[in-house]
Amino acid sequence: MIAAGCVLAAGLVLAGCASDDNIGPSPAERRAAWDAQNVYPQTYRAGLTAFLRTYLNDPRHIRDGAVSRPALMDVGPGKRFVVCVRYNARDDHGHYEGAKIGAATYVSGKLDRFIAPGPQTKAMCKHAALAPFPELAKLAR
């Protein structure tokens, strides 16, 4: 009987320690942590070139390479630096597939995610000012 009373008392004490305030960071704290990772990607062109070398089936002789400067855009619960990239790569049979536009997101100045060409990237990059990206034409396997 005494042991059961001690267990009950311990349970009540622990339940009193739990409150909604201890569940996790507030929305404002999560937003501040997200925004703190927005560091301008200084070497975005080199990182994007290295990524596309491994991402594309045949990275040789890419045509129509163009890239935008990093710009803060709404991604997820806040903003991220996004770089839009246009390229015309060859398929497995050596035929050019036509120009595509992808987007890269950056966290703490480093490439975090590449969003494959599609409706989402078209919407994200519709107003992006693209400049020539001749480094893509020089890629090798």
Contacts of 116 (CB under 8 A, 6+ apart): 102
Mean pLDDT over residues 105-126, rounded? Answer: 94
The domain limits of the chain are 38-138
The residue type of 50 is: A
Per-residue pLDDT of 68-86, as tens digits, reads: 999 999 888 789 999 999 9
pLDDT in the model for residue 55: 92
Matching residue, tokens 């390229």: 87
- 47: pLDDT strictly greater than 80: yes
**Residue 5, pLDDT above cutoff 50:** no
Q: Model pTM?
A: 0.78
Kindly state the percentage of the chain with pLDDT values over 90. 62
